[in-house]
Amino acid sequence: MTRRIRLNTYEFETPVEFEVYSRRLSKGEAFNELNNILNELMRIFGTFQHEAMFGIQGITFDRITQIEKERSAAQTIWIRKLQITLHYYKVSTIG
Residue 76 CA: distances (Å) to CA of 17, 25, 56, 80, 86: 22, 8, 37, 14, 32
Q: What's the mean pLDDT in 56-75? A: 82
> Considering the domain 2-91 in this protein, what is its CATH number?
3.30.980
d(CA 81, CA 53): 23
pTM: 0.71
Residue with the larger pLDDT of the pair 64 and 24 = 64
pLDDT of residue 59: 87
The residue extents of the domains of the chain are: 2-91
pLDDT band at 81 (very low <50, low <70, confident <90, very high): very high
